Chains A and B, each alone.
Chain A
Amino acid sequence: MVSDVLRARVGDLAARVKGEVEESLGVLELTVNYPEAIETLIGARNFADVPCDFLHDLCGMDLEDHFEVVYQLSSLRGPQRLRIIARVERDNPVIDSATRIWKGADFLEREAFDMFGIQFRGHPNLKRIYLWDDFEGYPMRKDYVVESHEQRAIMRVRKEGE
């Protein structure tokens, strides 16, 4: 159940950042383009009465013609929830990092980089988090082709300091 106050605040914000508002699974969804992502996040964090100031989760998505970065916001001070979706170009997947707003976005953005190859501008330590450093490709992309069984059975050589 979305409160009217939150709906009004999100509507105002959407008008300011030229975004579209939808409702999905009982949560408001605000879709914006990547240049407006940080402005949108700061706006949502500073909502009067219903601040969405806690970054619950951050993940990437591949929609074949473009990527999306999904921010799940909530708050420790209320039941309000908000989902912000930032569209990213497929050819040049670059978006500003949210680590300036939430320190906790660090590992989440590294995961999105690991799986989808989305570059987060301004991230303090953008490198692979789950996969090994010399892994080639981004496995969660739709066009990723998994190596053959024989190739995966070969043991890779471990690097010093890994």
Chain B
Amino acid sequence: MDVKKEKELRDAEVDAEKNILRTSIEKFLNWGRVHSFWPNSFGLACCAIEMASTGGARYDLSRFGYEVFQASPRQADLMIVAGTLTRKMAPVARRIYDQMPEPKWAIAMGNCACSGGPFADSYAVVPGADSIIPIDVYIPGCPPRPEALIYGMLQLKQKIQNPSKVRLIKHGK
């Protein structure tokens, strides 16, 4: 370990004794954000039942601080597209996404939201919500179990906490 790094760690130790932690503003804000997503309850089909079950007592999404399902997009920062997105609904979905304040993220929950699922060839279904909304995390399943939704939200947490790692995976530098 180089001398500079050793000095930094020693300083951090001294600060920690005085209850001080040093970090950057962005990291600190992200730390706050990832521990309290406020999802927008955008349930479209049967996946919404699993989403509701995730918030219930058995799976208890509030362990992670994510239980505040908001009916208004203006108070939400995470959109869970839970179910089949039809072409009639697509403009509404986009509008709700646009109404959410920054920073905002979106999760595609279930096969229908990921790629159209069994309705991919239908005349009335958008083949994948990502053609309407930028999606951060895809959760496959029909419908995904509550554990899968929780895992997906924890993956989103990792993604937000490690922006440089995400950039590395995406762009390779």
Q: Which residues in chain B, 108-145, are within 8 Å of chain A measured between CB atoms?
A: 120-128, 131-132
Q: How far is the CB of B70 from chain A (nearest CB, A)?
A: 22
Per-position 1/0 for A85-106, Cβ under 8 A of B = 0000000000000000000000
Q: How far is the CB of B42 from chain A (nearest CB, A)?
A: 16
Give CA–CA (A90, B95) in the complex, Å: 40
- By a CB distance below 8 angstroms, the chain A residues around B123 are 139, 144, 146-147, 152
Per-position 1/0 for A123-162, Cβ under 8 A of B = 0000000111000000100001011010011111110000
Q: Which of A131, A139, A149, A153 contacts B88 (CB 8 A)?
A: A131
When C-beta atoms are compared, the residue in chain A nearest to B120 turns out to be A149
Q: Which of A139, A146, A153 contacts B128 (CB 8 A)?
A: A153
Q: Which residues in chain A, 31-79, are within 8 Å of chain B measured between CB atoms?
A: none
Size category of the A interface is 10 to 19
Q: How far is the CB of A155 from chain B (nearest CB, A)?
A: 5
- By a CB distance below 8 angstroms, the chain B residues around A144 are 123
Q: Is B10 positioned at the interface, with any CB of A under 8 Å from its CB?
A: no
Interface residues of B (CB under 8 A from A): 87-88, 90-92, 94-95, 120-128, 131-132
Q: Are B94 and A155 in contact (CB under 8 A)?
A: yes
Q: Are A152 and B91 in contact (CB under 8 A)?
A: no
- By a CB distance below 8 angstroms, the chain A residues around B127 are 149, 152-153
Give CA–CA (A158, B127) in the complex, Å: 18
- By a CB distance below 8 angstroms, the chain A residues around B95 are 158
Q: Classify the interface of chain B: helix, strand, loop or mixed.
A: loop
Q: Are B91 and A157 in contact (CB under 8 A)?
A: yes
Known: A146-B123, A152-B87. 19 other contacts (CB 8 A): A131-B124, A132-B88, A139-B123, A146-B121, A146-B122, A152-B123, A152-B126, A153-B127, A154-B131, A155-B90, A155-B126, A155-B132, A156-B87, A156-B90, A156-B91, A157-B91, A158-B91, A158-B92, A158-B95
Give CA–CA (A132, B87) in the complex, Å: 9
Q: Which of A146, A147, A155, A156 has the most chain B CB atoms closer than 10 A to its own CB?
A: A155
- By a CB distance below 8 angstroms, the chain A residues around B88 are 130-132
10 closest A-B pairs by beta carbon, nearest first, are A158-B91, A153-B131, A139-B123, A132-B88, A155-B90, A146-B123, A155-B132, A149-B127, A153-B127, A152-B127
- By a CB distance below 8 angstroms, the chain A residues around B121 are 146
Q: Are A152 and B125 in contact (CB under 8 A)?
A: yes
Q: How far is the CB of A129 from chain B (nearest CB, A)?
A: 11
Q: Can you list 14 A-B contacts with CB-CB less than 8 angstroms, sorted by A residue number?
A: A132-B87, A132-B88, A146-B123, A147-B123, A149-B127, A152-B87, A152-B127, A153-B127, A153-B131, A155-B87, A155-B94, A156-B87, A158-B92, A158-B95
When C-beta atoms are compared, the residue in chain B nearest to A131 turns out to be B124
Give CA–CA (A82, B139) in the complex, Å: 47
Q: How far is the CB of A60 from chain B (nearest CB, A)?
A: 16
Give CA–CA (A149, B88) in the complex, Å: 16
- By a CB distance below 8 angstroms, the chain A residues around B94 are 155
When C-beta atoms are compared, the residue in chain B nearest to A154 turns out to be B131
Q: How far is the CB of B158 from chain A (nearest CB, A)?
A: 29
- By a CB distance below 8 angstroms, the chain A residues around B90 are 155-156
